Amino acid sequence: MTAYAILPPDTLLAAAIQHKIDRKTKPLGALGRLEPLARQIALIQQTLEPEIRQPHIVVFAGDHGAARAGVSAFPQDVTWQMVENFLAGGAAINVFTRQMGLGLSVVDAGVNHDFGKRPGLIDAKVAHGTASYIEQPAMTAAQRDAALQSGRELAHALAGNGCNCVGFGEMGIGNTAAASLLTHCLVGAEHDAELYTVTGRGTGLDDPGLYRKRSLLARALQRGGRPRDPLAVLAEYGGFEIAMMAGAMLGAAEKRMIIVIDGFIVTSALLAAHAIAPALLPYCVFAHRSHEPGHRVQLDFLQAEPLIELDLRLGEGTGAALAFPLVQAAVNFVNEMASFEAAGVSDQA
């Protein structure tokens, strides 16, 4: 396993950061969850004056061999068609990143399509989609390791270009099914991560479709078992986009970046990354709670409280983009809001 140089943020500044927050012109705790978010960001950056620089959303795309067996309501071709939509600027994530002033990169981690050189597309293709985990492991150990390393390098490159806040999104027909398998394997039974509990409708399966999806995933588990080692789980059931996201999260934590976590599939990548290097968790900001039932199980396991809940289930990093103004607001109030002393306001009841 690659050794990741991730250290949890030093907490020596915690008291000073809290004092600065508490002396703002407001009652103690009156800004609610923005206050611990501001403290978290200040600790990540080890400063009393945190800042967001060149925030960016990265959307990783990949295909899944199991999609051809019917684990999704949509055909596999939708993956590459949606990548084209991203590149044309027409998807929801394009709309939201434009609105929020966020950078956006699209990564071909393993789409079953040849795009050629395209502006705005990062070619990190490991292969033309994974194998079907119903019949064999989704990827070889070498493919998994290549995806992890590519993700790590992408995060390091973003940091090198001045970005200190990165959000993750994904596109891959069938990837809610892979995320269900990863969640089932990596979350303990005490958190009710049984396959039935964490397998939802994904792109909108009807009742027969959901039954088929659960049956196919049960067949996959009969073949591959329920490994707990994160590397084994990624190879058995993961997608190239999921493994590459996990590597990018680990790489971002190495560079002390704020990591904004989107929904169910992105959080499944985080489960793997967290199992590889638990020290990355304090760098993670959880954007939203997805409508997908398995996401609640993941968040409970990670003891994470997301910033918003809008019943989103689109993916693409849309929840991360929508939560970004709250991340910026947490930084802004720490830096720009007056203290009682500076404003000449009494703090006595």
Q: What is the pLDDT along the chain (349 residues), one digit of tens a residue?
A: 678 999 999 999 999 999 999 999 999 999 999 999 999 999 999 999 999 999 999 999 999 999 988 788 888 999 999 999 999 999 999 999 999 999 999 999 999 999 999 999 999 999 999 999 999 999 999 999 999 999 999 999 999 999 999 999 999 999 999 999 999 999 976 677 788 889 888 878 888 888 889 889 999 999 999 999 999 999 999 999 999 999 999 999 999 999 999 999 999 999 999 999 999 999 999 999 999 999 999 999 999 999 999 999 999 999 999 999 999 999 999 999 999 888 888 777 6
226 lies in a domain?
yes
> For residue 191, what pLDDT is reported?
72
319 lies in a domain?
yes
> For residue 209, what pLDDT is reported?
82
> For residue 333, what pLDDT is reported?
98
Quote the number of domains for the chain.
Answer: 1
129 lies in a domain?
yes
Catalytic residue flag (residue 316): yes
33 lies in a domain?
no
> For residue 344, what pLDDT is reported?
84
> For residue 70, what pLDDT is reported?
79
The upper half-sphere exposure of residue 299, i.e. CA atoms within 13 Å in the direction of its Cβ, equals 22
Return the H-helix or E-strand segment holding 296. helix 293-302
Tell me how crowded residue 315 is: count the other CB atoms within 10 A of its CB.
27
DSSP string, 214-263: HHHHHHHHHHH----SHHHHHHHH--HHHHHHHHHHHHHHHTT-EEEE-S
Q: Give Cα separations from 174 to 129, 130, 223 (angstroms).
A: 11, 11, 18
Active-site entry in 84, 316, 336, 341: 316
Q: What is the residue type of 181? A: L
CATH for 221: 3.40.50.10210
3 lies in a domain?
no
Segments forming the whole domain that contains residue 182: 56-326
2 lies in a domain?
no
236 lies in a domain?
yes
Q: Give Cα separations from 154 to 144, 147, 330 (angstroms).
A: 16, 11, 27
> For residue 189, what pLDDT is reported?
66
217 lies in a domain?
yes
